[in-house]
């Protein structure tokens, strides 16, 4: 059964979609590639308590890696990219090219970017940690201001308060 909860966050409301197998989606209001709301199932804000606890700890800087079970649907290539994203350490970034190399597909930079943009479980699969080749903040389904906020949050907790331009 698919159900969803709407969670408060510093980024605005997040819609968490859960199935019997785990977290299938975590979406920001207005993000690109947002599925139709009817796919989210009925609303029940009491579901996914482990995710809610982990998000609270993440916002406080006390959690660097999520461990909720995932049930994100995607192609085998997308799954490979999303798995590699989970290996990008908290408080750091990598480029799309770095990610392409990490999955053994160095010429697939654009495809990696597309898969990154289609990540259905933002934050838990940290697609916000991917930046342009020269470190520029490029593309983010939730918008660049949210990406900047997330990177700053992690950087602040990881290394004590450096600011992003």
For residue 69, tell me if it sits in a domain: no
Contact 110/130 with Cβ under 8 angstroms? no
For residue 56, tell me if it sits in a domain: yes
What confidence category does residue 163 fall into, taking pLDDT thresholds of 50, 70 and 90? very low
For residue 67, tell me if it sits in a domain: no
Write down the catalytic residue from 23, 51, 127, 151.
127
Domain check: are 54 and 92 in the same one? no
CA proximity to 156, closest of 52, 62, 55 = 62
pLDDT, average across residues 37-45: 92
Residue 70 has pLDDT above 60, yes or no: yes
User: Is 127 among the residues known to form the active site?
Assistant: yes
Contact 14/26 with Cβ under 8 angstroms? yes
Domain check: are 90 and 149 in the same one? yes
SS3 for 57-95, per residue? HHHHCCCCCCCCCECCCCCHHHHHHHHHHCCCCCCCCEE
CA proximity to 27, closest of 88, 47, 36 = 36
Range of the domain at 19: 3-60
Domain check: are 49 and 84 in the same one? no
pLDDT, average across residues 116-130: 95
Domain check: are 25 and 89 in the same one? no
For residue 35, tell me if it sits in a domain: yes
pTM equals 0.90
* CATH, residue 144: 1.10.10.10
Number of domains composing the chain? 2
For residue 66, tell me if it sits in a domain: no
């Amino acid at each position: 059964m698919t159900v969803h909860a709407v969670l408060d966050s510093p980024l605005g409301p997040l819609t968490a979609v859960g199935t019997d197998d785990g977290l299938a989606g975590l979406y920001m209001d207005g993000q690109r590639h947002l599925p139709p709301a009817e796919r989210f199932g009925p609303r029940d804000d009491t579901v996914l308590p482990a995710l809610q606890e982990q998000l609270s700890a993440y916002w406080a800087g006390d959690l660097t890696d999520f461990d909720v079970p995932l049930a994100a649907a995607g192609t085998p290539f997308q799954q490979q990219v999303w798995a590699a994203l989970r290996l990008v350490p908290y408080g750091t970034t990598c480029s799309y090219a770095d990610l392409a190399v990490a999955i053994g597909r160095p010429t697939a930079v654009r495809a990696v970017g597309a898969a990154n943009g289609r990540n259905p479980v933002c934050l838990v699969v940290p697609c916000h940690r991917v930046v342009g080749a020269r470190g520029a903040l490029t593309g983010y389904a939730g918008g660049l201001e949210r990406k900047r906020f997330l990177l700053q949050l992690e950087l602040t907790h990881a290394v004590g308060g450096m600011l992003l331009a």
